Amino acid sequence: MRRPIQWYAAALALGLLLGPVAYAQQPTKPGWPQPVQNNLPYSYWALNQNELRTWDGNSTYRWEGEGWYGGNINRAWFKTEGNLDTTTGKVDEGELQALYSRAITRYFDLQTGVRYDFKPGPSRGWGAFGVQGLAPYFFEVAATGFVSNDGYFAARLEGSYDLLITQRLILQPQAELNFYTKSDPRRRIGSGLESLDSGLRLRYEIRRQFAPYIGVTYEKKYGRSADYARQDGASVEDLRFVTGIRLWF
């Protein structure tokens, strides 16, 4: 079952690489003016969560980043998130995504690609399909479905909102929900609503590209995932204080 995911990843990467080349090679007809260059490739990269989470004398480093390369319609997206235990220096949870994105409306993109989980437990590959964009009242939202090379299905809902207190001081509520269709004991994941990761962060944009922030996060596991956490001696829910720096370029 792993080979279809690998072939899909290879085809996706080839398409992302050749797309800009094909566009650049389109010749202008003799006598015609040069076209307006409104589809030249651009890039954007951001670490939205680059923070230390502390609670009860413990701490963990959390990262969540994304970036894209492309034009107004077609883009290559890359996403990553995870946690690193500051005591052991080991990654507790981590994933990477590579996606092809196409604008379907003024505010929403359709995305398809691959996701790779390298923690916890055995690594796993997924196919991904979803939408991402700006909902009414400027809520940033994303909904993605996943199917793994072992026959597992999952879904993720994400949302955030920037509330401008001043032009530089911004309060951002954020939430992420994860769902799975069946339990995976090896990776300590239960079926149904598996986890909630939410937060409230107050950042000050010294520059748009550099914004220190403080805040709180609330994490909770549900159902069978909560049972696994109890069996492993881990907490089911945590309220944590966070400090970090948001970066983009």
- Examine residue 84 and state whether it is found in any structural domain, yes or no: no
| Alpha-carbon distances, residue 72 vs 174, 189, 211 (angstroms) | 26, 38, 26
How do beta strands 58-70 and 74-85 pair? antiparallel
Q: Cα angle at 237 between 115 and 228, to 5 degrees?
A: 65
Residue written as token pair 């032009």? 167
Q: How many CB atoms lie within 10 A of CB 111?
A: 21
For the chain, the distance separating the N- and C-terminal CA atoms, rounded to the nearest angstrom, is 38
Task: Label residue 123 by pLDDT band (50, 70, 90).
Answer: confident
- Examine residue 86 and state whether it is found in any structural domain, yes or no: no
Q: Check residue 87 and give its pLDDT.
A: 87
Range of the domain at 166: 103-248
Whether pLDDT at 165 is above 60: yes
Smallest CA-to-CA distance from 197 within 171, 169, 225 is with 225
CA atoms within 13 A on the CB side of 238: 18
Cβ–Cβ under 8 Å, residues 248 and 213: no
| Alpha-carbon distances, residue 183 vs 2, 179, 236 (angstroms) | 20, 10, 17
- Examine residue 53 and state whether it is found in any structural domain, yes or no: no
Q: Check residue 14 and give its pLDDT.
A: 47
SS3 109: strand
Q: How far apart are CA 53 and CA 24, in angstroms?
A: 45
Cβ–Cβ under 8 Å, residues 189 and 225: yes
| Alpha-carbon distances, residue 249 vs 65, 149, 152, 185 (angstroms) | 12, 34, 36, 39
Q: How far apart are CA 34 and CA 47, in angstroms?
A: 37
- Examine residue 77 and state whether it is found in any structural domain, yes or no: no
Task: Report the chain's mean pLDDT, rounded to a whole number.
Answer: 88
Cβ–Cβ under 8 Å, residues 101 and 78: no
Whether pLDDT at 22 is above 80: no
Tens digit of pLDDT for each residue in 203-223? Answer: 999 999 999 999 999 999 999
Task: Label residue 5 by pLDDT band (50, 70, 90).
Answer: low
Q: Check residue 54 and give its pLDDT.
A: 93
- Examine residue 152 and state whether it is found in any structural domain, yes or no: yes
- Examine residue 136 and state whether it is found in any structural domain, yes or no: yes
88 DSSP 8-state letter? T
- Examine residue 27 and state whether it is found in any structural domain, yes or no: no
Task: Label residue 23 by pLDDT band (50, 70, 90).
Answer: very low
Tokens of 46: 């951001």
Task: Label residue 122 by pLDDT band (50, 70, 90).
Answer: confident
Q: Check residue 92 and give its pLDDT.
A: 87
- Examine residue 70 and state whether it is found in any structural domain, yes or no: no
| Number of domains into which the chain is organized | 1
Q: How far apart are CA 138 and CA 206, in angstroms?
A: 23
Cβ–Cβ under 8 Å, residues 144 and 111: yes
